[in-house]
């Protein structure tokens, strides 16, 4: 499918490429601050440990897991439609803006989430922010082949990743300083002056806790402003696309493309097996990444400032891990390297079940960082080897891949939350993730990897 635009697009234009990469700079702040570092701990801190919701007895950690499941269930259902819009509708930029504004405003609304009495705001803000992030990412990714030539795709894609890493870490460090030293930002003065807004502070410890909570809430607003503000750069630099095809057929076309790829995959034995393995181990990987912060807060008593430091270490280790496993795959092959990664993931989850102190958890987090980037990048490049050479359905193949990944998140996070709710405590849930990895390893061991395998 060839893409057209009202004006000719100059490939590899530095201004356009840098503008595109700035979208990663903008929205990665959400991925790091809201998904991983600050919001999970805040969510558990302000809610009761056990409560009734819609007549169902629930723990705060189970509810957090279920909210992720619900958000990604919506995203998985929307993906074919979004892919159709991205490929045929000529509305990339318009929908990219809409999802960005949905996500960023939802982050800002989290400022008003203060506890059980405002739980609806917390759930709605978090779920809509997840949808805004994932939806915008579809259109962001779809711009890559439009602005870069084939020989520059890897380089431009890497630039987006690096921009996102740098931008999100800068904002996270600012948030860390504000949460650790709220008095330097006048937040303790605000809490003392307006106890009706920020809670009574009878002791110095309560004052510090209330000021840190206010700092966390302000950080949610900062993420939304950062996301929306820096997104204006790509919005102004990226080309507008002309419509290709009929807009009223986008829904049926998106699902038809998905069905067509599914029919092809069913006939390709090793492709089918790889995707089955990918689905199983992705349920484990994504769930562990999403809920590691909640586990550290709930089971080990990590403070927000300690958790941010863990996340920063994890991010740094993840970069080295991605390069390490890329080198190993070049020497030993994708299959053997992926199996090694999944074995390490299994050991990490077992260690999570056993860990009792913060020091040991730092080592566990280092293990997560080591394999986090490697499994995602290597899975995508391995899948690319199963796509027939010269295929016109590359976008559809990867849309199918994305739907599987998002569906795996739904299953993994739901299972995690269900076990937590039934058995109490997240350690059993962490151990259950090992099952996903073991099944993935067994299926992957039967796969032959190679183009047209």
Cα separation, 241 vs 5, in Å, equals 4
How large is the average pLDDT for residues 411-415?
Answer: 94
pLDDT value at residue 65: 92
* Pair (143, 288) in one structural domain: no
Cα separation, 192 vs 435, in Å, equals 50
Flag whether pLDDT at 343 surpasses 90.
Answer: yes
* Pair (156, 270) in one structural domain: no
* Pair (151, 104) in one structural domain: yes
* Pair (230, 270) in one structural domain: no
Cβ pair 352, 427 in contact under 8 A? yes
Cα separation, 242 vs 59, in Å, equals 49
How large is the average pLDDT for residues 336-344?
Answer: 94
Lookup: tokens for 30: 């959400």
Nearest to 77 by CA among 383, 417, 409: 409
pLDDT value at residue 400: 82
Lookup: tokens for 282: 């992705």
Q: Which of 185, 220, 236 is the last residue of a domain?
A: 236
* Pair (185, 276) in one structural domain: no
Q: Which of 218, 236, 254 is the last residue of a domain?
A: 236
Q: How confident is the model at residue 225 (pLDDT cuts 50, 70, 90)?
A: very high
pLDDT tens-digit map of 229-261 = 999 999 999 987 655 555 556 667 777 777 877
Q: Tell whether 249 is covered by a domain.
A: no
Cβ pair 214, 182 in contact under 8 A? yes
Nearest to 336 by CA among 451, 435, 441: 441
Nearest to 293 by CA among 224, 216, 223, 235: 216
Q: Exposed, middle or buried: residue 363 (CB in 10 Å: 0-12, 13-18, 19+)?
A: exposed
Nearest to 286 by CA among 396, 172, 414, 168: 414
Q: Tell whether 70 is covered by a domain.
A: yes
Q: Which of 214, 236, 258 is the last residue of a domain?
A: 236
* Pair (59, 154) in one structural domain: yes
Specify the higher pLDDT residue, 340 or 452. 340
3-state secondary structure of 2: coil
How large is the average pLDDT for residues 25-30?
Answer: 93
* Least confident residue range of 59-68, 136-145, 151-160, 210-219: 151-160
CA 206 to chain centre: 33
pLDDT value at residue 248: 58
How large is the average pLDDT for residues 5-34?
Answer: 86
* Pair (286, 343) in one structural domain: yes
Q: Tell whether 109 is covered by a domain.
A: yes
Cα separation, 39 vs 245, in Å, equals 41
Lookup: tokens for 280: 């199983």
pLDDT value at residue 18: 95
pLDDT value at residue 244: 53
pLDDT value at residue 242: 52
pTM of this prediction exceeds 0.75: yes
Cα separation, 161 vs 25, in Å, equals 8
Say how many domains are in the chain. Answer: 2
pLDDT value at residue 3: 44
H or E element that contains 444: helix 427-444
Q: How confident is the model at residue 262 (pLDDT cuts 50, 70, 90)?
A: confident
* Pair (219, 360) in one structural domain: no
Q: Tell whether 250 is covered by a domain.
A: no
Q: What percentage of the chain's residues is helix, strand, coil (to nearest 5)?
A: 80, 0, 15
Structural domain for 324, as ranges: 266-453
Cα separation, 160 vs 120, in Å, equals 34
Count of beta carbons in the 10 Å neighbourhood of residue 433? 27
pLDDT value at residue 117: 93
Q: Tell whether 169 is covered by a domain.
A: yes
Rounded to 10 degrees, what is the CA torsion of 117, 118, 122, 125?
Answer: 160
pLDDT tens-digit map of 94-130 = 889 999 999 999 999 999 999 999 999 999 999 999 9
Q: What angle do CA 311, 61, 431 make, to 5 degrees?
A: 75
Question: What does the mean pLDDT of the chain come to?
Answer: 85
Lookup: tokens for 241: 């696309």
Q: What angle do CA 282, 288, 293 make, to 5 degrees?
A: 150
pLDDT tens-digit map of 370-395 = 888 778 778 877 887 887 766 655 66
Q: Tell whether 215 is covered by a domain.
A: yes
Cα separation, 57 vs 138, in Å, equals 36
* Pair (19, 163) in one structural domain: yes
* Pair (340, 392) in one structural domain: yes
Q: CATH number of the domain that 164 lies in?
A: 1.20.1250.20
* Pair (214, 90) in one structural domain: yes
Lookup: tokens for 94: 């318009």
pLDDT tens-digit map of 164-194 = 888 988 999 999 899 989 999 999 899 888 8
Q: How far apart are the first and last CA of the chain?
A: 25
How long is the chain?
A: 453
Cα separation, 58 vs 63, in Å, equals 7
* Least confident residue range of 273-282, 289-298, 346-355: 289-298
Cα separation, 36 vs 42, in Å, equals 11
DSSP H helices, 85-203, are 92-109, 119-142, 144-147, 153-180, 187-193, 195-198
Q: Tell whether 259 is covered by a domain.
A: no
Q: Tell whether 176 is covered by a domain.
A: yes
Cα separation, 200 vs 207, in Å, equals 8
* Pair (130, 272) in one structural domain: no
Q: How confident is the model at residue 351 (pLDDT cuts 50, 70, 90)?
A: very high
């Amino acid at each position: 499918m060839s893409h057209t635009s009202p004006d000719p697009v100059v490939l590899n234009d530095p201004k356009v490429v840098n503008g595109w990469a700035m979208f990663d700079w903008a929205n990665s702040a959400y991925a790091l601050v809201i998904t991983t570092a600050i919001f999970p701990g805040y969510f558990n801190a302000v809610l009761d440990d056990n409560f009734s919701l819609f007549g169902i007895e629930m723990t705060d950690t189970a509810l957090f897991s279920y909210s992720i499941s619900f958000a990604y269930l919506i995203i998985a259902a929307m993906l074919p439609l979004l892919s159709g819009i991205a490929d045929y509708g000529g509305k990339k930029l318009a929908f990219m803006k809409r999802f960005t504004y949905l996500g960023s405003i939802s982050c800002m609304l989290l400022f008003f989430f203060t506890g059980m009495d405002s739980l609806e705001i917390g759930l709605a803000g978090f779920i809509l922010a997840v949808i805004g992030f994932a939806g915008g990412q579809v259109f962001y990714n779809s711009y890559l082949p439009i602005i870069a030539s084939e020989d520059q795709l890897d380089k431009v894609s890497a630039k987006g990743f690096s921009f996102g890493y740098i931008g999100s870490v800068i904002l996270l460090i600012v948030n860390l300083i504000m949460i650790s030293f709220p008095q330097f930002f006048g937040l303790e003065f605000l809490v003392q002056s307006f106890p009706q807004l920020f809670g009574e502070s009878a002791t110095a410890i309560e004052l510090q806790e209330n000021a840190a909570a206010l700092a966390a809430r302000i950080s949610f607003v900062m993420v939304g402003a950062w996301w929306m503000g820096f997104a204006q750069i790509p919005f102004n630099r990226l080309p507008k696309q002309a419509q290709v095809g009929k807009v009223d057929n986008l829904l049926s076309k998106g699902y038809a493309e998905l069905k067509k790829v599914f029919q092809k995959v069913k006939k390709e034995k090793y492709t089918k097996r790889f995707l089955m393995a990918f689905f199983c181990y992705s349920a484990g990987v994504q769930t562990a990444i999403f809920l590691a912060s909640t586990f550290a807060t709930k089971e080990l008593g990590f403070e927000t400032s300690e958790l941010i430091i863990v996340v920063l270490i994890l991010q740094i280790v993840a970069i080295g891990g991605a390069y390490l496993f890329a080198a190993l795959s070049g020497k030993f092959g994708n299959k053997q390297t992926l199996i090694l990664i999944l074995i390490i993931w299994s050991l990490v989850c077992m260690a999570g079940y056993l860990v009792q102190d913060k020091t040991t958890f730092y080592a566990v987090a280092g293990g997560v960082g080591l394999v986090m980037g490697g499994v995602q990048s290597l899975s995508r490049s391995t899948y690319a080897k199963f796509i027939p050479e010269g295929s016109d359905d590359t976008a559809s193949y990867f849309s199918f891949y994305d739907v599987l990944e998002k569906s795996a998140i739904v299953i993994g996070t739901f299972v995690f939350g269900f076990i937590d709710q039934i058995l109490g405590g997240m350690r059993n849930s962490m151990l259950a993730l090992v099952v996903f990895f073991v099944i993935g390893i067994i299926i992957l061991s039967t796969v032959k990897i190679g183009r047209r395998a």
